[in-house]
Structure 1
Amino acid sequence: MTRVQQIGVVIGLAIVALLTILRADDPGIFKLIRGVTFDEYQRLVPRTFEPMPVRVVDIDETSLREFGQWPWPRDRMALLVDRLSAMGASAIAFDILFAEPDRLSPRNVVAEVEGVDPSLAEKLPDNDEIFARAIAEKPVVLGFGLSNVGNYRPPVKAGFAFTGESPVSAPPYLGASTPLRPQLEANAAGLGHISLNPGNPSPVVRAVPLFLTDGEQLYPNLAIEALRVAQGASTYVLSGAPDRAGIMTSAKIGDFVVPLTAAGELWLYVSPDRAERYISARQVLAAEGASPEVAAAINGSIVFVGTSAAGLQDIRVTALGENVPGVSLHAQAVEQILSGHFLSRPDWADGLEILTIAVLGSLLVVVTTFVSPAVALICGLLITAMALVASWSSFLYAGLLFDPLAPIVSGSIIHFAATSFKILVIDRERRAVRRAFGHYLSPSLLHRIEHTRDPLRLGGDDRELTVMFVDVRNFTEISERLAPTDVVAFLNTLLDALSRHVVANEGTLDKFIGDSIMAFWNAPVDVADHETKAVRAALAMRETLAELNAGDAFGFGPGQQVGIGIGIHTGLACVGNMGAKTRFNYSAVGDAVNVAARLESCCKEVGFDILISDSTARSARGMALLEAGAIPLKGKSSRTQILAVVGDERVAASAEFSALVVTHQQLMQALLAHSKNTRKLIGTAKLRAAGVIDGLAEFYQRVSGRTDHFREANDRFEKSAAD
């Protein structure tokens, strides 16, 4: 692992730690996003509405038009209780507060008239007493609300039994409640709170607290109190954690067991609002009595009495996004319990999500650091898909609520941060690479180097290279007759024009040594057919120099020609960054470099501008080559077979070159045999060479003086053929 990768991992893990801590703190925005996610799940697959013995008697707009504005006198509420009881309601629960005396009661109306004898008022009916007598001995549950004033708490009509540690401190806290009328409170079969989401700022009701606590006593809500009364049960059996107080896990209400959150809440799994759930209060209170259909719907049902009238402002929002009367959510809670279709968010869900962020985040950091951004993106998408599938499957098949967005959002942040860091570092490294190699390499090679993993470092590797040396002929004479500034201008013009062909043929410019160029192929990255590309670069240099001379680009005047010599050899060399740790050059050293330099020096002796070794020639197939003998090179124990590069494949395929090759071979044989025809063959070769390329005349002029070169070359050739 490189230092940069180590830094990337450390930064990535620090971000993972911060996100993990943030999720553990669970700020409000996380809760909101989590709630919205669970809402979307319910919208995709809502609870199916099933006919249940649960009904809402709705004090709707029609009822208000029929019987007058709200509040109604309580003798009418008494009539409602009597009618519902007569029709066989198993429980009657009022989502209505009866905290104040009935101002429409005759006794209260007369008492407020000035000059009326108080004893007369006492003889008149009291609607609260009528309502109290109506609910006595009937399965009626009254609701109470929460209050910020006083310390009144209602009596509890049921007992509590616990398994495990005490969960009394688990539910939301009840500081005080609104007092009910004493006679109503005493005669009710049950009392339950009507708050659906106390302390929750969200308008969406997602979970309903089934209990409240004052630290010592638990208080049930309206829905489960109605369910208890309907079954005739007297006790709630609550389960707590086996080893930790203050946690609820479930509640047994008669024959039904309800899974709860740690705070004693029921996650509402709602069905779409349906007309079948409601019965208008007008139908129950009709003078002619309720219809058989209404009576059948009420019989055996748990009936909740509430209002959907807009002016009474008891409208709530469900997870499905519907605006419904608050009383219908109490009814839906009971429907859900009766159907057994529950949603559950286990108390260990938060821990699992926190652990997921830590583990998957750390995995993403490692993956993003060590693989390409594309692979890291694929891994991130797979993790996202896995989180979504796991969360959705848990909801669909087990009713479990796991938040997929926390790990997804955290993973996205981690992936973005790690990828951004990596890209910034890569860009920095690529800029360093461009600075180091931009003047020496072709754009294609530079692109390949940028995408390798090997960092720039001091040291080298053994590689097969094709090495080229280029030198200006008679440079000393040229520099003697020019001013220093003119020498620099001359070299800049020449070397710039020649070096471009190295880069264009995927070579690496090593250095400029005075009037010389050193270049090589097949490093720092592999270059296919590097021998041929080096030869093509040399041929292109020859053509460029001819154009420069023809155009008098150096300003030397007509007839003043500049010549070059090029030596090319292929062999093993050590290539890499050489120098000091703070300043180094990318270069090559070794025998292959020395041989190439010696070949360039031999151009003067041989009388030709481009010479290559036989090791290069073996791979540069198809080029127009002529044997130039075996030359003894300085520092080498044996001679080196060399060849003159006449031209490319087009020249090699020409009839003129084919004829020259025949004459060249005859000349070689004549030289070896000391034949009298040598001079004649040299003349013929010059003539035929003139039709191929300028410059071979000097080569053949010097052939006769190098008989030993060709004899050595022929001996090596024959020995190789015999082997």
Structure 2
Amino acid sequence: MRPTLRIAIALEKTLRSPFWFGFWVTVILWMIATTNLFKLTDFGRNTSLDALTKLYPYESLYPDNSAFFVFVNIDDNSLKTLGQWPWPRQISAKLIDKISHSGAAVIGVDVLFAERDRFSPDNLSQSLGISKKEIAAIGALNGDKMLGDIVKETPAVLAFALSNQKINNKETLPSHFVLMGDPPQNLLNAHALIQPISELEFAKGVGFVNTNKAEGMIRETPIVAQFKDNFFPSLALDMLRVAQGASNHVLKQSELGESILIKTGQLNIKTNDEGSFIFHHGHTDRFAQIPASEILSNKTFDLKNKIVIIGASAAGLGDIHSSNLEDDIPGPLFHLQLMDQVLSERFITYHIFYDRLIFLFCAGISILFSFITLRVAYRYVLIAIPSIAVLLIFLSVERFLHAGFIFNTPIALLLLFSGSMTTYFSQIAQKIILGRAVEKDIADAKDVQTTLFPAPDSISNVSGGVIPYKSLSGDFIDYFKVGNKICFIEGDVSGKGIPSALLMARSVALFRLFARHNLTADAIAKRINDELYSHGTADKFVTSVMGWYDMEKQELTFVNCGHNPVLLLDESGHKLFDQTSPPLGVVGKEDFSPSIVTLAYTPLSVLYIVTDGISEAMIKVTKDKEQEIGMEGLLRITQKQTTLSAIERTKQTLALIRSQKLRATDDATILVIMYEEIASEASPSKNENQS
């Protein structure tokens, strides 16, 4: 064989190993995870964050910080009291003014004032067709100017929005950012700004209110964005600046470029490289909420040094969102959550380098255990891999709680288990496929084996049958005519399965060979014993009864080589004939000398030869007790068959086994030989014709 062909064959055998299934599954998963193909890495990171948030909500680590925050809620009751939205601007101005006079450190307004007040004198004049003087005479106020005057004098931070569509408006918003070093490259970049109206340009601060949604929930939100060459803060970030009285935010990228650092007054804030802040959500009912209608009533509230945000929870205003902890959260509460985390220095981070390092480690461990799976009991692998998984989960939880770091634990665990599990199940699949192939081979072998046995009706006065205990039988029978004589054999090979079936087939072949030479029963037995002993193994032997029925002399001769007793029924009653030699294949020819039993056959003579599958079959004697029928039980069965033919006796006896009236624990075999004149003359046997 050529070397290249040998290599090809060896390679083909190697690649069929279950190890390579585990290896390639792990490698492919590792490549997908490392390149974030199909957003698999993002999915794993989000899943990890969601699970950790549910296990350890924010307030379980920082339970007291929420006291600094207040949500002034434009709820359904406020709309019912003050009228439909949008309210006249003078109401918004009054609301901000009252909050300011209550001592608030900063007031965030999570409402876009991008269009002029619909109740302003200009709008009323156009819509009603009345002159501005007449409008002024009836007391109409310029709400936009009133609101502009209020936000100029109060610590109010107004909202604006980033847009992906180009809008022809002039940029008038202050940036309030100072850049240190090179500008970040991955920030959210807007095509336009949806700004507050010009009357509000002197507000103390402005911030955008755009956020990120994935899978219908908010896990992170940008807090710095870029428009042209300028940088702009989110509403929450600029509220923190105004609350401290700081002039600007200082922006720079980290040395490794994996995060952006922002200094706002005394606060140091860390985001990812895209300028997004990752939430560690808590339950939002920890924040105090005051309906806007109550602020505008005569009630007084102590809001001294509180961080206050005005926004809507009314369902019709469309500012309701979900987190990975709760559903139906008003948008302003996300701003409060962000500021709460900043004040507590709770920054959630991740690093793609550490993700890839863990992926590589887990992939390597997975491939190692793919190899080990084929060489040790799988229970050891099931102990080792979960132990590593527990350590990985513990490390993930510990780093999240103490450093706010997110490991991509789900994908790491997927990689960790992928190799050994794939290898294990591939191994099982191969065994199943091989098992089915073996089952098919055994079924084919069973079909072939049945062809070795004569048909039950091939000779009219002789009949037999075999019921295998399992797929293949170790028992066998054979009988056929040689001239005026019928030779017969029944045997039982020790053991079970394919080896016994093969030895059975060999024994039948040897019997047929020697019987064709018209040898006596003891001579046939000696020849077969010599062959089995010379070429067999010590643990395999055959018990058998073999002989001749001479129909001309009406004489039956046989030898019993270690087999069950032979039962004879005749006019004098019954008689049992025990073994006359050891089983075939146990001893050499020097020690093997079987004695022949000779019987004179009469019309009432019937010979029953059975294996221990019948004589040791179990019969119920009570509800919970069974016992062997023994040869006495066989005798009782035969005594009910006195009027039956040989084939009918065989079928009736074996029917007791098939119907479970007798429970066999081994192959069940019977051979019945009757006087020739009792049954009708049979046609030549199939086996004889074949010979």
TM-score by length of 1: 0.61
- Are the aligned partners of 1:509 and 1:519 in contact in 2 as well (CA < 8 Å)? no
Match of 1:106 in 2: 121
Taking every aligned residue pair, what percent have the same amino acid on both sides? 23
Q: Deviations over 1:521-556 (max 9, x none)?
A: 9x9xxxxxx97xx5xx76x82xx43xx66x979999
Alignment counterpart, residue 213 of structure 1, candidates 211, 217, 226:
226
- Are the aligned partners of 1:108 and 1:121 in contact in 2 as well (CA < 8 Å)? no
Supply the AA of the counterpart residue of 2:28: L
Counterpart CA distance in 2 for 1:430 and 1:376 is 24
Supply the AA of the counterpart residue of 2:528: S
Counterpart CA distance in 1 for 2:387 and 2:319 is 45
Match of 1:407 in 2: 412
Q: Deviations over 1:328-368 (max 9, x none)?
A: 11011111111223322234343235324532332342233
Q: Gaps (5+ residues) in structure 1?
A: 441-477, 524-529, 567-595, 610-723
Match of 1:560 in 2: 557
Segment drifting more, 80-89 vs 388-397: 388-397
1:135-284 correspondence runs (5 A): 135-151=151-167, 152=169, 155-162=173-180, 165-167=182-184, 169-184=185-200, 186-197=201-212, 200-214=213-227, 216-244=229-257, 247-274=258-285, 276-284=287-295
Supply the AA of the counterpart residue of 2:234: N
Describe the SS at the equivalent of 2:194.
coil
Q: Deviations over 1:541-590 (max 9, x none)?
A: 2xx43xx66x9799996342247699xxxxxxxxxxxxxxxxxxxxxxxx
Q: Gaps (5+ residues) in structure 2?
A: 1-9, 446-478, 511-526, 564-583, 596-691
Match of 1:351 in 2: 356
Describe the SS at the equivalent of 1:390.
helix
| CA distance 1:22–1:565, change in 2 (3 Å) | same
Counterpart CA distance in 1 for 2:313 and 2:291 is 10
Counterpart CA distance in 2 for 1:204 and 1:439 is 61
| CA distance 1:299–1:553, change in 2 (3 Å) | farther
- Are the aligned partners of 1:507 and 1:520 in contact in 2 as well (CA < 8 Å)? no
| CA distance 1:504–1:73, change in 2 (3 Å) | closer
Describe the SS at the equivalent of 2:284.
coil
Number of aligned residues = 502
- Give the deviation of 1:236 after TM superposition: 2.1
Matched, 1:42 2:53: yes
Match of 2:317 in 1: 312
- Are the aligned partners of 1:345 and 1:401 in contact in 2 as well (CA < 8 Å)? yes
- Give the deviation of 1:204 after TM superposition: 1.0
Alignment counterpart, residue 516 of structure 1, candidates 528, 532, 555:
528
Describe the SS at the equivalent of 1:260.
strand
- Are the aligned partners of 1:91 and 1:302 in contact in 2 as well (CA < 8 Å)? yes
Counterpart CA distance in 2 for 1:553 and 1:300 is 123
Counterpart CA distance in 1 for 2:361 and 2:590 is 72
- Give the deviation of 1:600 after TM superposition: 1.6
Matched, 1:16 2:30: no
- Give the deviation of 1:56 after TM superposition: 1.3
- Are the aligned partners of 1:190 and 1:225 in contact in 2 as well (CA < 8 Å)? yes
| CA distance 1:502–1:438, change in 2 (3 Å) | farther
| CA distance 1:46–1:503, change in 2 (3 Å) | closer
- Are the aligned partners of 1:502 and 1:519 in contact in 2 as well (CA < 8 Å)? no
Segment drifting more, 317-326 vs 405-414: 405-414
1:704-719 correspondence runs (5 A): none
| CA distance 1:7–1:501, change in 2 (3 Å) | closer
- Give the deviation of 1:380 after TM superposition: 4.4
Match of 1:68 in 2: 83
Q: Deviations over 1:479-538 (max 9, x none)?
A: 9x937x999x75xx45xx14x2254999897665835366699x9xxxxxx97xx5xx76
Counterpart CA distance in 2 for 1:422 and 1:215 is 60
1:278-677 correspondence runs (5 A): 278-286=289-297, 288=298, 290-291=299-300, 294-295=301-302, 298-427=303-432, 482=482, 490=488, 493-494=489-490, 497-498=491-492, 500-503=493-496, 514=510, 516=528, 534=539, 541=543, 544-545=544-545, 558-562=555-559, 600-603=588-591, 607=593
| CA distance 1:365–1:132, change in 2 (3 Å) | same
Supply the AA of the counterpart residue of 2:360: L
- Are the aligned partners of 2:177 and 2:231 in contact in 1 as well (CA < 8 Å)? no
- Are the aligned partners of 1:90 and 1:301 in contact in 2 as well (CA < 8 Å)? yes
- Are the aligned partners of 2:186 and 2:273 in contact in 1 as well (CA < 8 Å)? yes
- Are the aligned partners of 2:533 and 2:588 in contact in 1 as well (CA < 8 Å)? no
- Are the aligned partners of 2:223 and 2:277 in contact in 1 as well (CA < 8 Å)? yes
Match of 1:624 in 2: none
Counterpart CA distance in 2 for 1:354 and 1:125 is 65
- Give the deviation of 1:221 after TM superposition: 0.4
Describe the SS at the equivalent of 1:96.
strand
Q: Deviations over 1:640-676 (max 9, x none)?
A: xxxxxxxxxxxxxxxxxxxxxxxxxxxxxxxxxxxxx
- Give the deviation of 1:133 after TM superposition: 1.0
Match of 1:459 in 2: none
TM-score by length of 2: 0.64
Counterpart CA distance in 2 for 1:248 and 1:227 is 20
Describe the SS at the equivalent of 1:145.
strand
Supply the AA of the counterpart residue of 2:557: Q
Counterpart CA distance in 2 for 1:205 and 1:158 is 26
- Give the deviation of 1:428 after TM superposition: 5.2
- Are the aligned partners of 2:347 and 2:404 in contact in 1 as well (CA < 8 Å)? yes
- Are the aligned partners of 2:175 and 2:232 in contact in 1 as well (CA < 8 Å)? no
Counterpart CA distance in 2 for 1:256 and 1:554 is 117
Counterpart CA distance in 2 for 1:267 and 1:553 is 101
- Are the aligned partners of 1:191 and 1:225 in contact in 2 as well (CA < 8 Å)? yes
| CA distance 1:273–1:602, change in 2 (3 Å) | same
Match of 1:707 in 2: none
- Give the deviation of 1:60 after TM superposition: 1.7
| CA distance 1:52–1:427, change in 2 (3 Å) | same
| CA distance 1:598–1:107, change in 2 (3 Å) | closer
- Are the aligned partners of 1:161 and 1:235 in contact in 2 as well (CA < 8 Å)? no
- Give the deviation of 1:120 after TM superposition: 5.6
Describe the SS at the equivalent of 1:561.
strand
Segment drifting more, 140-149 vs 299-308: 140-149
1:111-150 correspondence runs (5 A): 111-114=126-129, 116-118=130-132, 125-150=141-166
Describe the SS at the equivalent of 1:103.
coil
- Give the deviation of 1:179 after TM superposition: 2.7
Counterpart CA distance in 1 for 2:427 and 2:14 is 8
Describe the SS at the equivalent of 1:304.
strand
Matched, 1:90 2:105: yes
- Give the deviation of 1:160 after TM superposition: 2.0
Counterpart CA distance in 1 for 2:498 and 2:22 is 42
Describe the SS at the equivalent of 2:22.
helix
Describe the SS at the equivalent of 1:341.
coil
| CA distance 1:201–1:374, change in 2 (3 Å) | same
| CA distance 1:279–1:356, change in 2 (3 Å) | farther
Describe the SS at the equivalent of 1:370.
coil
| CA distance 1:600–1:433, change in 2 (3 Å) | farther
Counterpart CA distance in 2 for 1:330 and 1:47 is 15
Counterpart CA distance in 1 for 2:496 and 2:93 is 102
- Are the aligned partners of 1:16 and 1:357 in contact in 2 as well (CA < 8 Å)? no
